[in-house]
A and B are shown apart, each in its own frame.
Chain A
Amino acid sequence: MLTNKVKDKSTVFAITSLLFLGVLAISPTKDYFSEWRAYQKEFNRLIKDQPRRIKPVEIGIKQIWLPELGVTDRCTSCHVGISNQKLVDIPAPFKPHPIMYHDSEEFGCTPCHNGQGIATTVEESVGHEEFWDSPMLPLPFTEAGCGTCHKEVTVNDAPLLSKGRLLMQELNCVACHILPGFKPEYVPPLDGVGKKRSRDWLVRWLTDPRSVHVTAKMPDFRLNMEEVDILADFLMSFDTYPETVEIIPLPDELKKEWPDDDWVNMGAKHFREARCISCHQINGKGGHLAPEIGKIASEVTHEWLYNYIRNPREFHAGVPMPQYGFSEKQTKTVTAYILSEFQDWDIEEDSIEAVHTPVPGFYQKGLELFNHYNCMGCHELNVQGIGRNMGPVLTNIGSKPQPELEFGDVDIVHTRTAYIYEKIKNPHQFLENSRMPIFDLEEKELKAITVALLSMNDKKIPSNYLPPESAISTYEPQGMFGQLVDKYSCFSCHVINGKGYLLASDLTLEGSRVHLDWMKHYFEIPYTLRPTLTERMPNLFLQESEIEYLSDYISTVFVNDEIDEVEIKMNEEVVQRGKKLVNDIYGCVSCHQVDGKGGYVGPPFNETGKRSKPGWIYNWIKNPQKYRPDTIDPNAGLTDEEAKQITAYILNLK
C-alpha cells in the first residue's frame, strides 16, 4: 500500500534519477562534439569543391605511431590533408605540408615541430600548454627542428639555422659559453697592445667598438667611464711583446711625415694585386672576413703596421692573414701607401690628452675587470692572475625546462623561444648587471641565432634516424707543403681532404683537374674564373721556387687516376656533335660563355681547355655534384658518348 508520502518521494526519486542520467550524458556528448571530429567533417565538406577527386577521411582519431622514435602524433586527426599534395587552395589546418625531404609517416610531426603530439585539442597540442615542456616551435623558428639532428654548420633547406650557426661562430659565442660543435675564432692577442694602440684609441674602442668600426666584431660591454679608464690603463701597461716576437724598427724611409709619391704609387699597385680588400673593408667596401682598415694608419703605431705586413705570424701563429711573399722593398711601399692613404682625417688633435696620469690602483682593478668580463675568453694575454670566467653552459639550452628560465619581470610570453630571443637582444633586461655584452643584431640575425640555440637540445633520436655524421677531417699537410699552406693560409679559403673553409674551391682533386702549366701561371697572376664572383684569389707574391714546389706537389699528390684515364677522340665529326649538344640540346650557353656570348654564371668555355684536363671535363659534366655537392651545374644525365663529344668540343675551342 503506497502512502501519499511514499508517492511523493518516488516522484522526487524519479526526477533525480532523470537528472543524473542527463548529467551522465554530458560526457559522451562532449566526446561526440570534439574538435577533431568537427575538423574532419569540415574537411569532408571542403573536398567537394576541390578540382580533383579527394577521398573523404574516415571519421576517427588518426595517429602516427613510431615507438622507436617515441612518437605518438595525433596531429593528423585535424591536419587531415597534410600529406595530400593534390589539395589546392584549402585553408589551414588542412593544407598539405610544404614539400620536404622527410616522409611524415616515417618521422612524425613532433620530432621537428615539438608540441604535445599525443593531445587531440588545439589548445593542448599546439597552444601554450603550461605543463608541456616542449611547446610547438613558433613557425618562424621551425628550422630549429632540423638542427636537432643535422649538426653540421650549414644545413640544406634551412637557411635561417645555417645563418644562425655561422653567426654564432663569427660572434665567437664559444668564448664565454660551452657550445659543442663550435670552434674559437681568432681574436688578436693583447700582449704588447700598449705598443700597438694609443690610449685614446683604446678608450674609444672600449666605450663602444661599433663607433670606431661599424663592422666591429667585439660587442658592446656597456662599460661605464670609470671601467673604461681603468681597463685602458691596464691594457696600456702591456707595452712589450713576448720574447719570441722580433720587431724590426721602422725604416727611415717611412719615418717621414709624408712618404715619397713613387713609393705610394708602387705600394698602391701591390695593395691591389694582393687583393687586401677581399677580406678587409675600406670605407664600407670589401670583404667581411677581417677588420676594417680604412683608418688603420691612425689606429695603430706605424712600427706595428710595418712589422705586421712583413709577417703577421710573428705576432700570433693562428692569425688567418697570409704571410705575403713581399720583398723588403715591396713591404715598405705597401706600408707607405697605407700610411699615406688610410688616415683618420676627422681626428681632432686637441682631443688627445698629452700626458695621462693613470688611475690609482689601475692594475689590480683592471685585472679584476678583465676577469669579470671574461676578456680572456676571446683575447689572449699572458699575465699572472688571468682566469677564465665562463657564462652558462648552453649545451642543451634548447630543452632547458621552461620553469628554470629566469624571466624576471620582463613582459613577454613565458616560452623558451621568447626568452632566448629577448636575452640575446638585450641581456640586461633580465638582469641589470648581466656580464653578457650587447651584440646589436638585426631582427633576422636574432631569429637566426635563436633558431640555432633552440636546435641545441637533448632530444633522444635513435641513431638510425640520424643523418650520417660528416667525418671530421684529420688531414694535416706535412713537410714543405705543410709549411707553405700554413704560411699562405690556404685553408682560409680552400678545402683539401675535408679540411678548411669552402670560400673558393676544393683542391682535393686539383691535380687531376688542371694542367701544370696553367697552375704555375695562375700562381703568378691569379684571376677569377667566374665573372660574378667577388672573393678573388690574391696575388700572394710567391717566390719562383715556391710556385714550382706547390704546382709540382699539387699535380702529383692531389690526383685521382680514374679521372685521368679517359681517352677523348678528337675529330671534326665529334666536335660538331659536341657543339650541337652544348648550344642546342643541353643549352649550356645559358650559363657559360662561348666566343664571348652566353651567360655569366659559370666559367667561360673558351679558356677551359687551357686550364682543365680532358678527364676532368668529362667526369665533371657527367656528374658535377659528385665533385662539389652544392654546385648549381645540373646533372643532365649525359651518356658516356655525349660527354666525350662535349669534352672534345670544349677542348677544341680557342
Chain B
Amino acid sequence: MRRLYQIIISSEFWKSIFRTRNFSTNLGRSMVIFNNLFLHILPVKTKRETLHFGATMYLGFISFSLFVILTLTGIYLMLYYHPSVPQAYWDMKDLQFAVSNGVFIRNLHRWSAHAMVAAVFLHMLRVFYAGAYKTPKQFNWGMGIMLLILTLLLSYTGYLLPWDQLAYWAVSVGANMADAAPVIGPKLKFLLLGGNNIGENTLIRFYVLHCVILPLAAAGLIGVHFWRVRKDGGVTPLFRKRSEQIPDNE
C-alpha cells in the first residue's frame, strides 16, 4: 500500500498536476496549495479549533455543496427545458413522466434549492453570533449579505420556470411587491416582468437570470468570499471545545 502510494506521488503524472514533490515539509505542503488554481483558495494551514462541528456547524460548506448540486442538476434540467410559454409546462411534465430519473433530478434541484436558502440563512446566523462581522471581517460580512440576496433571487426566479399556477401567482405577488416600492416601483415591476403582465418575456427574463446571470454572479462572489475568509484569518468559531484550549503539540 505504502509503496504504491509512493510510486503514485513520485510519478511524472502526479508532478505534472501538483508541480511539487515533497509533501513532508511545511514548505512542500504550502507549495501544493500555492501552485494550484483550485486549491489556492484554501488556507495552507487551518486552526484545529475551527474544525470541529460546534465551530461552524459546517453551514458554509453545506451551502456551497448545495450550490454545486444545484448547478449540476440545473444543467441536467436545462437539457430538457424550453423557456417558452407553450412548451415550459409540458417539458416539466415530460421530466416527470418520460425522462429517465427526471423526477429524481427535478426533486433534487427543488429540495436543494429550499435547503440552500435555509443553509445560507443559518450560516449567517452562525456568523453573526460568532461575531465574525467585526473588524477585519466587515467586507466579507457584506459579501455574505450579497450572497444571501443572490440565493433568494435564484430561488425566486426559479419559481416561475415550471410555468404552473403556483409559479404564476407567486411571481405575481412578487412583482406586485416590487410595484409597491415608492417612486421606482412601477418601473421596477416593468423591468422585472419585461412588460406589464407575466408572459413570454417574463419567462425568458427569469430563465436567463436563473441560469446565467445569477449563478455566475454567485460563483464569482463565492470565490471572493472564500478568499477573504482566508485573508481575514480564517473562521471565527462559534463554540470551542474545552480540550482545544490546550495548544497544539506539533
Q: Which residues of A contact B (CB under 8 A)?
A: 26-28, 30-31, 61, 63, 72, 74, 118-121, 124
Contact = CB atoms under 8 A, between A and B. Distances in A.
9 contacts: A26-B104, A28-B100, A72-B90, A74-B97, A74-B98, A118-B90, A118-B94, A118-B97, A119-B97
Interface in B52-99: 90, 93-94, 96-98
Top 5 nearest A-B pairs (CB, nearest first) are: A27-B104, A120-B97, A27-B101, A118-B93, A119-B97
A63 B97 CA distance: 12
B100 A61 contact: no
Nearest to B101: A27
Contacts of B96: 119
B98 A31 contact: no
Contacts of A72: 90
Contacts of B90: 72, 118
Interface string B103-117: 110000000000000
A118 B98 CA distance: 8
Interface of B: 90, 93-94, 96-98, 100-101, 103-104
A27 B103 CA distance: 8
B98 A120 contact: yes
A31 B94 contact: no
Nearest to B164: A131
A75 to B, nearest CB: 12
A306 B104 CA distance: 82
A124 B96 CA distance: 11
Contacts of B98: 61, 63, 74, 118, 120
Nearest to B104: A27
B101 A31 contact: yes
A119 to B, nearest CB: 5
Nearest to B166: A131
Contact of A28 (B93, B94, B97, B101): B101
A161 to B, nearest CB: 30
A517 B216 CA distance: 95
Contacts of A27: 101, 103-104
A119 B90 CA distance: 11
Contacts of A120: 97-98
A31 B97 contact: no
A119 B103 CA distance: 12
Given A74-B97, A118-B94, 6 more contacts: A28-B100, A28-B101, A31-B100, A74-B98, A118-B97, A119-B93
Contacts of B93: 118-119
Contacts of A30: 104
Interface centre among A26, A63, A118, A120 (most CB of B within 10 A): A118
B162 to A, nearest CB: 12
A118 B101 CA distance: 16
A74 B104 CA distance: 20
Contacts of B94: 118
Nearest to B96: A119
A619 to B, nearest CB: 52
A2 to B, nearest CB: 10
A387 B229 CA distance: 79
Contacts of A63: 98
Contacts of A28: 100-101
B218 to A, nearest CB: 25
Contacts of B100: 28, 31
A158 B27 CA distance: 88
Nearest to A36: B97
A118 B93 CA distance: 7
Contacts of B104: 26-27, 30
